[in-house]
Amino acid sequence: MLIVADENIPLLDSFFEDIGEIRQVSGRELSAADVKDADVLLVRSVSRVDQALLAGSRVKFVGTATIGTDHVDVAWLASQGIHFASAPGCNANSVVEYVLSILSLHAERLDLKDWNTLSVGIVGAGNVGGALWRILCRLGIRVKAYDPVREALEAETGAPEKAETFSSLEAVLACDVVTLHTPLTRAGDFPTHGMIGRERLAALTENQLLINSGRGDVIDEAALLDRLASAGAPSVVLDVWEREPDINADLLRQVWLGTPHIAGYSLEGKIQGTEMIYQALCTFLGLPARKQSGQFMPEPPLSKLSFTRAAQAREAADVAMRSCYDPRRDDARFRHKMKVASEHPGQAFDQFRRDYPVRREFSSTKIQLKGTSRSLQDKFKALGFRLKL
């Protein structure tokens, strides 16, 4: 059995070497010739999987180690009897921690004593947005969420009390911080392609922060560039972009923080994505799934932090989060790489992602608390750190 796989999927050999021969290829440059004699195809979001790629091949299983599936023609695969599997929620926690880290920096920039004075609007409350919603509520932050698809589904399944917790898009876009977590859709009752366009961008003020770590095409970038050049523009953080990897360098220069689609790039998230498509392939082949991500998780570089009774809740949480992950580092490295490789921005974008350093999630770090308050303990628990009291 031949398995053709994106070379950037982690632990390919560890998970799949017992199943078949593995041929690693560039996901961005994947061609029909690469997959013609493959039985299994494993990809990431950079590869377009459709009839043009697979017609005439012998592929019977396609797996994407990502939560999104807009790069895959799922309907065509089904019509050809090709089994498809994705990894929904695999890196949700990683994206949530990216947003939480941004919120920490934003609160510090505004000189806020506590995040609780901020209101956060979530557009899209699926795996990522839903997890963020729950954590923010545990932290005592005011949250409004817009997800008409989930709202309708919960109403249909007999959970009207849950449906009532959703807000209108206008109410969500009026929050202090607006964070986007929708899939990319172009059809249906609630298409998301270009949903944050010129009119909605014009309504955002200089006191607001807009974060997009979902799909780049949800924002009209031409309109966003115009808005950022006008008076009273909001602060903007972008992790996803139109036309990746050939992003708009002018837009990168205008945003507060910019990163190259790495919000979900924690080691835990990436390995979990591999594990999920491994399990799906084992099920498809009728094989036992004997391997788990925990077998391959290395020791974290930062294993423990200690705080005493003198620690203040917000400052301690900021220190812990930024010790694990500080988005400003990625922003600085990304801008430098794009400047150096200004004639080849797409290559710089992909190289940054390919060579991305190991990033661990908050749960990999144990927090030792000596005589600290219950509120500080609760904050660390809500953020996902392990506690030692």
Q: How far apart are CA 389 and CA 383, in angstroms?
A: 16
> What are the start-end ranges of the E strands in the chain?
2-6, 21-25, 40-43, 61-64, 83-85, 119-123, 142-146, 177-180, 209-212, 235-238, 257-258, 304-308, 366-370, 386-388
> How many Cβ atoms sit within 10 Å of the Cβ of residue 37?
12
| Residues 6 or more apart whose Cβ sits within 8 Å of residue 333 | 352
The verdict on whether 261 is a catalytic residue reads yes
The verdict on whether 336 is a catalytic residue reads no
Question: Looking at this protein, which amino acid is placed at residue 160?
Answer: P
The verdict on whether 299 is a catalytic residue reads no
Catalytic position from the list 150, 215, 353, 360:
215
Catalytic position from the list 97, 151, 154, 244:
244
Q: SS3 of 342, please? A: coil
Q: How far apart are CA 58 and CA 52, in angstroms?
A: 14
Q: SS3 of 98, please? A: helix
Q: Which two tokens stand for residue 3?
A: 């398995």
CA distances, 81 to each of 84, 155, 248, 296 (Å): 9, 33, 39, 33
* Cis check: omega of the bond before 245, within 30 degrees of 0: yes
Q: Give the orientation angle of helix 313-324 with respect to helix 374-383, to 10 degrees.
A: 30
Catalytic position from the list 28, 181, 261, 359:
261
* End-to-end CA, the chain: 51
HSE value, Cβ hemisphere, 13 Å, CA-based, for 197: 6
Q: What is the DSSP string of 123-179?
A: E--SHHHHHHHHHHHHTT-EEEEE-HHHHHHHHHTT-HHHHTT---HHHHHTSSEEE
Q: Which positions are catalytic?
A: 215, 244, 261
